[in-house]
């Protein structure tokens, strides 16, 4: 998740260091970003933002145990760390622990409202917790805030696919594929949605033929 350290409580030197850590993360240099954040923690062991960056980088590296440890440490130091709650929500969602995911993500949303990434994860968890209509509404809100997010388009497309709104699913997944054509998950979901849509359309237009039934007489 991209962070903005403007108007931060940190000193100018810490903010500069955090900016470099953030840029390394956004450029995909996660190991370097983690190392810089750890160096910052040596100077300031209570720097919550450095712990948040470490957790976020570990998520990108699929080192989920380390990410969870860093996020929990951040929340110990500051229970208003929305990034900490977001990361815990993402991790519990990844484990399909939907109820705990919703709890963490709702807290993140309370602390940092209208963030499209938090809403995306919250919508997905809510949908998978059998609150389908509510989950779709949250995902639609996330998409309204960030209409070019291929992950949101894909998640929402899958939700519409599961609720048998095939044409809507195809529309969303096609747009997601145009934005991120190399994403295998999006490609597979688009092909599945397209197949269901075509099959459903052919069934809807095919004439219904039935063997005539005869009522027997006594």
* pLDDT tens-place string over residues 175-210: 999 999 999 999 999 999 999 888 876 654 444 444
> Per-residue confidence at 3, pLDDT binned at 50, 70, 90?
low
Residue 6 confidence (pLDDT) = 56
Claim: this prediction has a pTM higher than 0.85: yes
Residue 2 confidence (pLDDT) = 65
* pLDDT tens-place string over residues 117-155: 999 999 999 999 999 999 999 999 999 999 999 999 999
* pLDDT tens-place string over residues 177-186: 999 999 999 9
* pLDDT tens-place string over residues 4-52: 655 567 888 999 999 999 999 999 999 999 999 999 999 999 999 999 9
The four Cα atoms 48, 53, 54, 55 give a dihedral, to 10 degrees, of 90
Residue 218 confidence (pLDDT) = 39
* pLDDT tens-place string over residues 77-91: 999 999 999 999 999
176 contacts 153 by C-beta, under 8 angstroms = yes
Contacts of 71 (CB under 8 A, 6+ apart): 51, 52, 55, 81, 83, 84, 87, 88, 91
* pLDDT tens-place string over residues 28-38: 999 999 999 99
């Amino acid at each position: 998740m991209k962070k903005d350290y403007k108007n931060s409580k940190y000193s100018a030197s810490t903010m500069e260091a955090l900016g470099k850590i953030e840029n390394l993360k956004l450029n995909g240099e996660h190991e370097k970003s983690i190392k810089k954040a750890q160096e910052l923690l040596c100077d300031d062991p209570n720097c919550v933002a450095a712990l948040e960056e470490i957790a976020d980088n570990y998520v990108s590296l699929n080192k989920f145990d380390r990410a969870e440890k860093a996020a929990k440490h951040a929340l110990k130091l500051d229970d208003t760390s929305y990034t900490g709650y977001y990361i815990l929500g993402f991790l519990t969602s990844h484990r399909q622990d939907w109820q705990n995911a919703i709890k963490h993500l709702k807290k993140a949303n309370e602390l940092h409202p209208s963030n499209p990434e938090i809403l995306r994860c919250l919508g997905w968890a809510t949908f998978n917790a059998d609150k389908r209509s509510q989950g779709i509404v949250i995902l639609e809100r996330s998409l309204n805030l960030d209409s070019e997010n291929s992950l949101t388009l894909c998640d929402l497309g899958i939700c519409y696919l599961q609720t048998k709104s095939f044409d809507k699913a195809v529309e969303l997944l096609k747009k997601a594929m145009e934005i991120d054509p190399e994403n295998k998950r999006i490609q597979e979901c688009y092909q599945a949605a397209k197949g269901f849509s075509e099959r459903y359309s052919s069934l809807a237009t095919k004439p219904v033929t039935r063997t005539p039934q005869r009522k027997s007489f006594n």
